[in-house]
Structure 1
Amino acid sequence: MRSQLELFFTALGYFSRLPVPAWVAWSPQRAAAAARYFPLVGWIVGAAAAAAYALAALVLPPAPAVVIALAAAVLLTGALHEDGWADACDGLGGGWAREQVLAIMKDSRIGSYGALGLMLMLLAKAATLVELAAAGSAAFASALLAAHALSRLAATALMQRLPYARSDDSSKSRPLAQPLDHGGVAIASACGVLPLLLVPGAAALAALATTALLTFAAARYFLRRLGGYTGDLLGATQQLTELGCYLAFLATWNFT
Structure 2
Amino acid sequence: MDVLRRELTLFFIAMGFFTRIPMPAWVKIDADNLNKANRYFGLVGILVGAISALVYEISLFVLPTSISIILAMIAGVAVTGALHEDGLADTADGFGGGWTVADKLKIMKDSRIGTYGAVTLLLSMILKYMLLLELALYDPELVIVALILGHCLSRVLAASIIFTDTYVSDAYASATSVSEGVSDSAGESKEKGSKSKPLAESQTSNELAILLLTGVLALWLSGLGSAILIVVSLFLVRWLLVIVFRRQIGGYTGDTLGAAQQVSELVFYMLLLASLA
Please give the alpha-carbon distance, in whole angstroms, between the structure 1 residues aligned to 2:200 and 2:150. Answer: 22
Secondary structure, aligned partner of 2:116: helix
Residue in structure 2 matched with residue 126 of structure 1 by the alignment: 129
Residue in structure 2 matched with residue 35 of structure 1 by the alignment: 38
Once the 2 structures are TM-superposed, how far is the Cα of residue 209 of structure 1 from its aligned partner?
Answer: 2.1
Q: How does 1:20-31 map to 2 (within 5 A)?
A: 20-31=23-34
Counterpart of 1:176 (choices 185, 188, 200) is 200
Structure 1 unaligned regions, length at least 5:
none
Aligned length: 253
Q: How does 1:84-233 map to 2 (within 5 A)?
A: 84-166=87-169, 167=171, 170=190, 171-172=193-194, 173=197, 176-179=200-203, 181-233=204-256
Using the size of structure 2 for normalisation, the TM-score is 0.88
Once the 2 structures are TM-superposed, how far is the Cα of residue 51 of structure 1 from its aligned partner?
Answer: 0.6
Deviations, residues 83-118 of structure 1 (Å, cap 9, x unaligned): 000000100011111000000000000000000000
Please give the alpha-carbon distance, in whole angstroms, between the structure 2 residues aligned to 1:23 and 1:120. Answer: 41
Once the 2 structures are TM-superposed, how far is the Cα of residue 135 of structure 1 from its aligned partner?
Answer: 3.1
Please give the alpha-carbon distance, in whole angstroms, between the structure 1 residues aligned to 2:198 and 2:157. Answer: 18
Using the size of structure 1 for normalisation, the TM-score is 0.94
Sequence identity of aligned pairs in percent?
Answer: 40
Inter-CA distance 175–144: structure 2 relative to 1 (3 Å threshold): closer
Which of structures 1 and 2 has the bigger CA Rg? 2
Counterpart of 1:18 (choices 17, 21, 35) is 21
Bigger drift between 160-169 and 38-47 goes to 160-169
Please give the alpha-carbon distance, in whole angstroms, between the structure 1 residues aligned to 2:147 and 2:232. Answer: 17
Bigger drift between 130-139 and 72-81 goes to 130-139
Bigger drift between 109-118 and 60-69 goes to 60-69
Secondary structure, aligned partner of 2:219: helix
Structure 2 unaligned regions, length at least 5:
175-189
Deviations, residues 120-144 of structure 1 (Å, cap 9, x unaligned): 0000000000011123343221111
Secondary structure, aligned partner of 1:176: coil
Please give the alpha-carbon distance, in whole angstroms, between the structure 1 residues aligned to 2:22 and 2:116. Answer: 33
Maintained 8 Å contact 2:65/2:140: no
